[in-house]
Structure 1
Amino acid sequence: MSWFSINNTFVNIPLGSGYAMSWIEMVGTVFGLLCIWCASKEKTINYFFGLINVTLFAIIFYQIQLYGLLILQLFFFVANIYGWYAWTRPNTIDGESLQVRWLSKQKLLITGVVSIVAICLMTIFIDPFFAALAKIATNTLNAFGNDIVLKPLDPDAFPFWDATMTVLSVVAQILMTRKYVENWILWVVINVISVGVYAAQGVYAMSIEYAILLFIALNGTRVWMATAKSNQAKSSKQAVL
């Protein structure tokens, strides 16, 4: 079990004051990159890689007592299972699998309004919100025999940007499970913000990781836009016939 410890160092990275990357973080990161890359290629195996990634990251967040992020990984775990199901399940209307496409104008408007409202609310209430999540997570883990003492949480360093990343990550993950192109545009935005926030906080290794994810997301946007255009052309041709 020592392999799962964040103190089991894989490599020391000479960034800033030095960063000791653990084996579990290294493996989790690799599977995360594989997940995003395969998703950009519309390969269903991305969800298998995603399940490994979020499981390992949940273990990491448990050890460093970031319970809000731990709960977010639980959401991603469920979303990966649903996405795997949705991508492989035939469409009940025509018997074909889910196709890459754009959101309709109505769905885009609803998604935008809900996202903006959620970001505003979370920006205002982010500290009590995550304190409540941390308390729920702590109580849940203690119910299974743990003896965790919840430490007082410091105020969020970047409440608006943190809220934006959290809300958009949830929205983007949901859109990806339904194969909407807009999910990649949101991941581009999320990764740009992440690179800046992590660099500002001195976590340079994660900043570099998200810079890599940014390029993958940009490629995913390009590929899925082309696929959506092709699918739309096929649908129009079939409608004429």
Structure 2
Amino acid sequence: MDLADVLEPLQRPLFTLLGTPVSWTEVLGFGSGALCVWLVARQHIANWPIGIANNALFILLFTQAGLYADAALQVVFITLAAYGWWTWAHGGGPGSDALPVRRTTRAEWTWLLAAGVVGTLGFTLLLDHVTDSTVPFWDALTTALSLMATYGQCRKRLESWWLWIAADVVYVPLYAYKELYLTALLYAGFLALCVNGLRSWSREQMAAQAPRPMEATAA
């Protein structure tokens, strides 16, 4: 039995949505993806292993749909997830294992935006010339935004939620266009979860900056 035989049951239609078959892969990707984002918003470290499982499912799904940059992106996500998993567990610095929520620095923004522009242009050219992608620019743009957001998530940068929100705004119509309706619905749910995550992390970051009672008294 080869890999194709093992994966074949995941590719079978489970039900039909808007006239389009929905596979087990898409359903499992829906569930694991929603759970992952919910856990990120709550800063629960279990989001990383669940996210890795979600990435593996989306590699299969996106390859079938011809979204090659998004499929390749999942491999990068798995690598970043391993880094994020370690960072969340050990990145708090001396005397603390917990990684606090912080704002993205000006230097980080500079190289992130530069990398995003270069990555979008590079991926667009690659997809346009090497693959049969029908949406090279939009596939490349979401890839670049997602990588930028994932870096911020690994480092618990507050603005990573804004990058995820920007990516999701593009992902929803993109997946609907590719007739991945359940995945489009999932990313609409991601958008709502990202807004909630932004609020949650903002509250924690503001609480961390607020002076403690003894400090306020001393001032």
Q: TM-score, normalised by structure 1?
A: 0.77
User: Does the CA contact (< 8 Å) of 2:69 and 2:123 recur in 1?
Assistant: no
> 1:228 — aligned with what?
205
User: Which of 13, 16, 37 lines up with 1:12 in the alignment?
Assistant: 16
> 2:36 — aligned with what?
35
User: Does the CA contact (< 8 Å) of 1:83 and 1:177 recur in 2?
Assistant: yes
Structure 2 unaligned segments of length 5 or more: list them.
none
* Cα deviation digits, residues 68-99 of structure 1 (max 9, x gap): 43322111111111111110115333434210
Report the 3-state secondary structure (helix = DSSP H, G, I; strand = E; otherwise coil) of the residue aligned with 1:11.
Answer: strand
> 2:50 — aligned with what?
49
Q: Which residue identity lines up with residue 195 of structure 2 in the other structure?
A: L
Decide whether aligned partners of structure 1 residues 90 and 207 sit closer, same or farther in structure 2, where only a CA change above 3 A counts.
closer
Decide whether aligned partners of structure 1 residues 99 and 123 sit closer, same or farther in structure 2, where only a CA change above 3 A counts.
same
Distance 1:65 1:126 in 2: 10
Query: In the TM superposition, what is the alpha-carbon distance from 1:229 to its structure 2 partner?
Result: 1.3
Decide whether aligned partners of structure 1 residues 192 and 179 sit closer, same or farther in structure 2, where only a CA change above 3 A counts.
same
User: Does the CA contact (< 8 Å) of 2:102 and 2:156 recur in 1?
Assistant: yes
Decide whether aligned partners of structure 1 residues 46 and 234 sit closer, same or farther in structure 2, where only a CA change above 3 A counts.
farther
User: Does the CA contact (< 8 Å) of 1:3 and 1:24 recur in 2?
Assistant: no
Distance 2:205 2:42 in 1: 13
Asked whether 1:98 is paired with 2:122, we answer no
Decide whether aligned partners of structure 1 residues 70 and 162 sit closer, same or farther in structure 2, where only a CA change above 3 A counts.
closer
Q: Which residue identity lines up with residue 105 of structure 1 in the other structure?
A: R
Query: In the TM superposition, what is the alpha-carbon distance from 1:4 to its structure 2 partner?
Result: 5.0
- Tell me the percent identity: 29
User: Does the CA contact (< 8 Å) of 1:38 and 1:46 recur in 2?
Assistant: yes
Decide whether aligned partners of structure 1 residues 185 and 22 sit closer, same or farther in structure 2, where only a CA change above 3 A counts.
same
> 2:128 — aligned with what?
127
Report the 3-state secondary structure (helix = DSSP H, G, I; strand = E; otherwise coil) of the residue aligned with 1:20.
Answer: strand
Structure 1 unaligned segments of length 5 or more: list them.
132-152
Query: In the TM superposition, what is the alpha-carbon distance from 1:123 to its structure 2 partner?
Result: 3.4
Which moves more between the two structures, 168-177 or 50-59? 50-59
Query: In the TM superposition, what is the alpha-carbon distance from 1:106 to its structure 2 partner?
Result: 2.5
The alignment yields a C-alpha RMSD, in angstroms, of: 2.8
Q: Which residue identity lines up with residue 71 of structure 2 in the other structure?
A: L
User: Does the CA contact (< 8 Å) of 1:83 and 1:176 recur in 2?
Assistant: yes
> 1:177 — aligned with what?
154
> 2:78 — aligned with what?
77
